[in-house]
Amino acid sequence: MKLALVTAFPPSKVTLNEYGYHLAKHFANNPEVDELILITDHTSEAKQLDFEAPHCKITVKESWKFNSYKNVINIYKSINETKPDAVLFNLQFMKFGDKKIPAALGLFLPFICKLKGIPTVALLHNILEHVDLSNAGFTDNRILKSIFNFIGTSLTRVVLKADVVAVTIAKYVEVLNEKYNAKNVSLLPHGSFETPAEPNYELPKGPKKIMTFGKFGTYKKVEILIEAVEKLRLTSNEELEIVIAGTDSPNTLGYLKSVEERYSHVPGITFTGYVAEEDVPVIFGESTVVAFPYTSTTGSSGVLHQAGSYGKAVVMPNLGDLALLVEDEGYTGEFFEPGDVDSLAISIAKIIESDAHRIEISKTNYKAACSLPMETIAQMYVDEFNNIIVSKANLKYA
């Protein structure tokens, strides 16, 4: 199979670049994929192709830019030039831009590929019906919410024109089937990026590190985490540090810098900035707890899967897709009320003050991560494409 993957890709800062990297890594090692065409966004530095591909040719086509109105044309040209047997789009609604027109135009690409007769799967990481537009940073205005909902529903219908739409949470399948009468939605779980050897669950010497990882500023707010740890320091005998790993959301540039200035009086906070792929194991390995200071969710959580892979205990808000993911895939943790500093502090305390409890959660999460390695997920996509190819062949000769 000659497979094209349309995705953001490291060192890109565009959302889903990490997921694109790990999909590519495991497609390149799948025996059924002879050539992998990466149709990626432009980056000033070379693409991070630091994985083995013993039998697979890898071609990189830098074809699009965040918020460019030309993305549809340029990606279409790349697909025409490379002539793949199948195309996978790694998508969410704001994948191609945070401006309405570039973002919307990009979502027409799976339909365009299907019209060309190319077997096409659109991996949709979030659906409008499970996004809180206020907390996710889109709008608080009631009229604008109605407009966004109308546009989002219309764009969902466009994405559903792909041969198969893959979603990562079982509830999404139910919603799309019921609301849109969809017949082509498949559940393909998120999967775990890496499944290292089982850790010994011992902590490094020194302060206990409370770490959060992601793109911050919209529905991911670090103020609550800082203030919760400050409260804990007043009552706990443990020495605590805060690690804020990651960057601003594209919608809230300058957010982390403003937080760093606002809390400059608080000791023991590290802002790592962008974390390169090779540094991810270190960040997780040194952490005692991985925290999710979210006020909303917009899909499955790659960070939760990473935490599981490295055998880490987590504290999560009791809301939305994270709760669904825990139920579907077997993760666990301590839950807190979204936006409640005291509730978050209590949840963190339960983990840092009991090694036995921390290890119990860590082992459960590692087991959940091991049950769905990315190698398995990549094979599920290859199987989907094979089914589409066979179906199209049967229709052709019927």
Q: What pLDDT is stored for residue 297 in this prediction?
A: 66
60 φ, ψ to 5°? -110, 125
170 lies in some domain: yes
201 lies in some domain: no
Give me the torsion for CA of 153, 155, 158, 159, rounded to 10°.
-100
203 lies in some domain: no
Cβ proximity of 33 and 1 under 8 Å: yes
> What is the C-alpha separation between 218 and 250, in angstroms, rounded?
9
196 lies in some domain: no
Q: What pLDDT is stored for residue 141 in this prediction?
A: 55
> Is 213 in the same domain as 85?
no
> Is 133 in the same domain as 251?
no
199 lies in some domain: no
Cβ proximity of 131 and 97 under 8 Å: no
> Is 333 in the same domain as 226?
yes
DSSP strand pairing (185-187 vs 164-167):
parallel
> Is 156 in the same domain as 248?
no
Q: What pLDDT is stored for residue 133 in this prediction?
A: 46
107 lies in some domain: yes
> Is 181 in the same domain as 277?
no
115: which 2 tokens? Answer: 């019209």
Which string of b and e fits 329-346 if b means at least 16 CB within 10 Å? bebbbbbbebbebebbbb
CA 11 from chain centre, in angstroms, equals 15
> Is 36 in the same domain as 137?
yes
Residue 86 belongs to domain spanning: 2-191+373-397
pLDDT digits (tens, 9 = 90+) for 195-216: 778 888 999 889 999 999 988 9
Each residue's pLDDT expressed in tens, for the chain with a length of 398 residues: 999 999 999 999 888 898 999 999 999 999 999 999 999 999 999 999 999 888 999 999 999 999 999 999 999 999 999 999 999 999 988 889 888 889 899 999 999 999 999 999 999 988 876 555 445 444 455 665 566 667 778 889 999 999 999 998 888 898 999 999 999 999 998 888 877 788 889 998 899 999 999 889 877 899 999 999 999 999 988 999 999 999 988 778 899 999 999 999 999 999 999 988 889 999 999 999 999 998 876 556 778 888 998 999 999 998 766 677 776 778 899 999 988 999 999 999 999 999 999 999 999 999 988 888 889 999 999 999 999 998 887 776 65
Domain CATH number, residue 109: 3.40.50.2000
> Is 366 in the same domain as 383?
no
> Is 44 in the same domain as 163?
yes
Q: What pLDDT is stored for residue 298 in this prediction?
A: 58
Q: What pLDDT is stored for residue 129 in this prediction?
A: 67
Domain count, the chain: 2
> Is 227 in the same domain as 180?
no
Pick from 106, 56, 50: nearest CA to 279: 50
198 lies in some domain: no
Cβ proximity of 187 and 167 under 8 Å: yes
> Is 269 in the same domain as 160?
no
60 lies in some domain: yes
> Is 21 in the same domain as 144?
yes
Pick from 153, 160, 185, 190: nearest CA to 172: 185
pLDDT digits (tens, 9 = 90+) for 13-26: 888 898 999 999 99
> Is 63 in the same domain as 137?
yes
